[in-house]
Amino acid sequence: MAFHQQYVSIEQPAISQLIRELRQNLKLTQEKFAAHLGVSFPTINR
């Protein structure tokens, strides 16, 4: 439970920045990143 609680408190801008940095480090577009994760483009583009 401690693991889950640690990440619940991360605010949306911080999560967005982490996702953006990961995607850019992998040199993937938002569309390709979404496809690799098995989610839709709008999910990534939020």
Tens of pLDDT along 1-46? 455 555 566 677 888 898 899 999 999 999 999 999 999 999 888 7
Give long-range contacts, CB 8 A cutoff, 24+ apart: 18-23: 19/44
Q: Is the residue at 4 inside a domain?
A: no
Q: Are 6 and 21 in contact (CB under 8 A)?
A: no
Q: Which domain holds residue 38?
A: 12-44
Q: Is the residue at 27 inside a domain?
A: yes
Q: Is the residue at 7 inside a domain?
A: no
Q: Is the residue at 40 inside a domain?
A: yes
pLDDT of residue 43: 87
Q: Is the residue at 3 inside a domain?
A: no
pTM of the model: 0.66
Tally the domains of the chain: 1
